[in-house]
């Protein structure tokens, strides 16, 4: 019989394994990541796929995104350029966005999963 501390440790380990298994299963089911971003409108030229927040985008992604597919979760997209005032931020629900609204086309510089 495990004591409480050992039990919690085992529970933690089991949860970590479950998370990894869920992720692998999700990726195997049609290779669908939670978020897919494209360089061009209409889902052309896939340039990034994410299940967790990428945060600040690297060159190659920064100021490139023109269409988005959200398969799971809620994601926040921001133009972090300090010269742009006010900074543009939008939170999107699952769905397909073949073009980007609110002046975000080619201006997204960071992405965070918020739900």
**Which residues of the chain form contacts with Ca ion (CB under 5 A)?**
39, 64, 66, 106
In this structure, are residues 51 and 79 in contact, taking their beta carbons and an 8 Å threshold?
Answer: no
- For tokens 């609204």, the residue is 101
Least Å from the CB of residue 56 to Ca ion: 18
Alpha carbon 92 to chain centroid distance?
A: 11
Residue 64 or 79: the one with the smaller Cβ distance to Ca ion is: 64
Residue 21 or 84: the one with the smaller Cβ distance to Ca ion is: 84
Q: Which residue in the shown chain puts its C-beta closest to Ca ion?
A: 66
Residue 43 or 50: the one with the smaller Cβ distance to Ca ion is: 43
Q: Give, in order, the Cα–Cα distances in Å from 84 to each of 8, 80, 110.
A: 48, 8, 14
């Amino acid at each position: 019989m495990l004591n409480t501390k050992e039990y919690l440790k085992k529970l933690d380990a089991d949860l970590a394994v479950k998370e990894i298994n869920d992720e692998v299963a999700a990726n195997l089911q049609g290779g669908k990541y939670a978020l897919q971003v494209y360089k061009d409108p209409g889902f052309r030229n896939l340039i990034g796929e994410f299940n967790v927040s990428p945060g600040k985008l690297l060159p190659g992604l920064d100021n490139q995104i023109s269409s988005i597919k959200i398969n799971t979760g809620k994601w926040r997209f921001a133009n972090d350029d300090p010269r742009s005032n006010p900074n543009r931020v939008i939170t999107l629900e699952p769905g397909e966005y073949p073009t980007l609204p609110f002046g975000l086309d080619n201006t997204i510089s960071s992405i965070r999963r918020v739900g």
